[in-house]
Structure 1
């Protein structure tokens, strides 16, 4: 009887007895994003995103407009970052490349996350479904990213849609396994037992109690997956199996600069600096979130 009373009326957690800790536990994301590390990341990502969104205003030329000056250096009149091998303005190519990359990763990562989480919830509902979903995750993880990219491109051809599909498929098992593991851990906690004893149905306990406590790692994983998606898109464009030219992407601009590194190193500087800033910013945000959630 005493055990039943303890379950129905659990002792308040330590955080409830410490106002500062309680406030931090109620707003872990706000606390994490207020750290110097996260603010630095937000500034880096914000600058890159803003530059991409304002590309039509900041770029003095269209991304495919050609001039008579090929491989012009930085500071050339009318071309702040210079031009590429075809005389196209590098600033415009980089800015519009940011727009393309952001459009791809902000669709692909959420799509992979949603599909992976839905499969994980299906696995949590029934043992047979769990076995099937686990085999699906194993199958997706069995393909290296490059092989998966080449296979999808061979079927669909190069373009934006295959890139989105490759990134989404790569993220499905990542989010699915993460949520499934979180659900399995939370199922054994005392508060779940108390909710069940109190008359909560399986679906109600899952939605109201288990999922909110299992979701924190998913938030961190979104930032990590956005970083990975930048690399995947860049690698596919670099290998020529990504977005079709002449539409610019950061990976495509970098790939086009390779034959001219010795002659015109500025050609590669723009996309390299942009990718570095974006990846570093996302990594700092992910690390700050992870540190706060683990406290």
Structure 2
């Protein structure tokens, strides 16, 4: 018989196929594609706001409350500043918050979750801390952070988002450790002498990534809400720096003069939250549902 020229697939190759198949299926869902498109467009607008915006974000003029026109796509505010420009720079603030706070909070939560899943004493202490954190809403935590720690501003928003996300990722990781550590492949790794840290990082954590990625998409949506809420009540980003929440706050008194002063930020916030939720829904259907 003639020997076959094609080599047999390795075990690693076979094992990686289901993972690639799930990701391929998740990315093919219309929800995932639509969400990625919405978020990508808005993030590009925010990231390149200094080059896209037709005016400076704090450039004033005598043309207060100008209507929608070719030169002012969303009109102007009470100081004659271009609302479209300020919305673009407001998106930029949300890009910073989401891109900074969620990865930090997620990383801290995963690290604590791994510790909780492998140390009973640490688990008992950390879970009680998580209970206290989850007892407060994000806005109440934001008030506490801004009043007692860092004061109003971007730092307060980032710290609040981190604090909100740590217990979410921590409990998901802890549940994954508890569910996986009695599986045969974990027991086999321990039998051959793998250290506890190696078992957690190389064997258990990869099997929890799908759930954590879905949670990350939801947390990005929450970060947009937190920035908007904190800036709206005056403990987030302060004028003259624009943010979507602060724009909504100042526009409330001028709805009759220029309704687009409020509608512009509202549309962008809604689109960002919708985009992240669509991504989470598509990933959930593709990665977690069998």
TM-score with structure 1 length normalisation? 0.89
- 1:104-115 maps to which residues of 2 (within 5 A)? 104-115=97-108
Q: Deviations over 1:148-176 (max 9, x none)?
A: 11111112221110111011101110110
Aligned length: 276
Measured in 1, the distance between the counterparts of 2:235 and 2:28 equals: 40
Q: 5+ unaligned residues in a row in structure 2: which ranges?
A: 1-10
Aligned to 2:65: 71
> Displacement of 1:24 after TM fit?
4.6
The answer to whether 1:167 aligns with 2:170 is: no
Q: Secondary structure, in 3 states, of the residue corresponding to 2:262?
A: helix
Distance 1:54 1:254 in 2: 22
1:40 aligns with 2:34: yes
Task: Tell me the TM-score normalized by structure 2.
Answer: 0.90
Q: 1:116 aligns with which of 105, 109, 131?
A: 109
Query: Per-residue deviation at 1:27?
Result: 4.3
Deviations 1:258-284 (A, max 9, x none): 112233211111111111111111111
Alpha-carbon distance between aligned partners in 1 of 2:34 and 2:18, rounded to the nearest angstrom: 21
For the Cα contact (< 8 Å) 1:24–1:31, is it kept in 2?
no
Q: Quick one: distance in 1 between partners of 2:20 and 2:194?
A: 24
Q: RMSD between aligned alpha carbons?
A: 1.8
Structure 1 residue ranges without an equivalent (≥5): 1-11
Aligned match for 2:277, one of 253, 271, 283: 283
- 1:64-103 to 2 correspondence within 5 Å? 64-75=58-69, 78-103=71-96
Q: Deviations over 1:15-48 (max 9, x none)?
A: x69xxxx745334234312322211111101110
Question: Does the 8 Å CA contact 1:186/1:214 hold for their aligned counterparts?
Answer: no
Q: Distance in 2 between matches of 1:99 and 1:30?
A: 30
Pairing 1:178–2:172 present: yes
Q: Deviations over 1:219-261 (max 9, x none)?
A: 0000000001100110001111101211000111111111122
